[in-house]
Amino acid sequence: MAVQPIFSDTLIPGELKSIAQKVLDGERISTEDAVMLYKHAEIDLLGYLANYIKTKKYGNKIYFNRNFHIEPTNVCVFSCAFCAYSKLYKNREDGWELTEDQMMNIVKSYDGKKVTEVHIVGGVHPKLNIEFFANLMRKMKAHRPDLHIKGYTAVELDYMFRKAKMTNKEGLEYLREAGLESLPGGGAEIFDEAVRKEICDDKVDSQGWLDIHKAAHEIGMHSNATMLYGHIEKYEHRVDHMNRLRTLQDETGGFNTFIPLKFRNQDNDMSHINESSVVDDIKTYAIGRIFMDNFPHVKAYWPMLGREKAQLMVNYGVDDLDGTIDDSTKIYSMAGSEEQSPSLTTEELTNLIHATGNIAVERDTLYNELEVFELVP
């Protein structure tokens, strides 16, 4: 049954009203519509629409998982202008390269703990090859078969596969045999070629990123997709980025989650650029939910956004806050996030969700529901 128009002309100009009606009728909005929403819609309207979609899908559930990160190294052959993480940036001293034993000790430190996912992500070290990471994952799986390995951005994979002279499919199948189960969404940044040239010229290009995710989906692996926003890009570039992802998702259906990543400006070559306002953050999450109609989930990654803004985004279409993290990532603290030691116990994370008036639901990486934490009146 079609939803009746609820917006009066006096409150909302005609063009916005017809976009809003499309959303309420479950129709896809165009790229022009999305730019129009960015430029002219109030956040109240965006919140209403994004939450309408979110609530229709998931009611008042907000998902989280119990996870930790392993960051094998911050040595990186690339030189993204926004990166505060790479050791090679201005020859900073505080670099690390973890050995296989050190990484296995991290995994072992979770023995007996209820974590379901390890997220492996790091710099692109010239000496660490596909064989190294395959051996590492074999050992992890032998030690803890139930731990889902979500690992390696398309940037890391592209470099590994080229060095190993493997096609994307061959490389992914090889890593899957070793234990890799899904791909994180990093490295997408902004697909527009001119913007990409300015901010991360030397790593995998936009088509290369999309090709790796497509190859993963074709062999049955799921993945996520990020968008780094709030730097030199324009609204049109964000919409183009989302459109390239939406188009691939129409073809493969392999993406789980869209994750807008707010650019943080500390200690990198783009520090002169102001960070986005909270209004812009809200618009980006809400329009992400509205435009990406074939993406099941929209995630506010709290270590980057900060826990209070992540709570706010739950009212703007977000249904997932990622995980407990356990102080195991440095990417955002080094770039200036207010979360300097990101770690939440399950109780803290469920309390944070309950405080927004929603039910907290623990999920695994593929969004199977594991436990429901009801609101206590």
Residues that bind ligand V47 (CB under 6 A): 82-84, 121, 153, 184-187, 189, 224, 226, 228, 259, 261, 263-264, 268, 301, 322, 331, 335
Give the number of residues written for the chain: 377
Q: Which residues pair with 299 in a beta bridge?
A: 320
Site track for ligand SF4 across 94-133, x = CB under 6 A: -----------------------------xx---------
Rg (the chain; Cα; Å): 20
Tokens of 375: 């609101």
Site track for ligand SF4 across 200-219, x = CB under 6 A: x--x----------------
* 318 touches, from ligand SF4, ligand V47, none (C-beta below 5 to 8 Å by class): none
CA dist., res. 108 & res. 42, Å (int)? 49
Of the pair 16, 120, the CB lying nearest ligand SF4 is at 120
Q: Cβ(215)–Cβ(158) under 8 Å?
A: no
Site track for ligand SF4 across 163-202, x = CB under 6 A: -------------------------------------x--
Of the pair 50, 188, the CB lying nearest ligand V47 is at 188
Tokens of 75: 């040595």
Distances (CA, A) of 166 to 157, 169, 170, 217, 222: 10, 8, 6, 17, 20
Q: In the window 79-98, what residues touch ligand SF4 (CB under 6 A)?
A: 79-80, 83, 85-86
Residue 53 interacts with ligand SF4 (CB under 6 A): yes or no: no
Of the pair 18, 346, the CB lying nearest ligand V47 is at 346
Of the pair 226, 311, the CB lying nearest ligand SF4 is at 226
| Angle at 363 (CA atoms; ends 73, 169), nearest 5 degrees | 55
Chain-centroid distance of CA 319 in Å reads: 13
User: Could you tell me the smallest distance in angstroms from the CB atom of residue 82 to ligand SF4?
Assistant: 7
CA dist., res. 32 & res. 35, Å (int)? 5
For residue 107, which of 64, 73, 139 has the smallest C-alpha distance? 139
User: Which residue ranges make up the site for ligand SF4 (CB under 6 A)?
Assistant: 76, 78-80, 83, 85-86, 123-124, 155, 200, 203
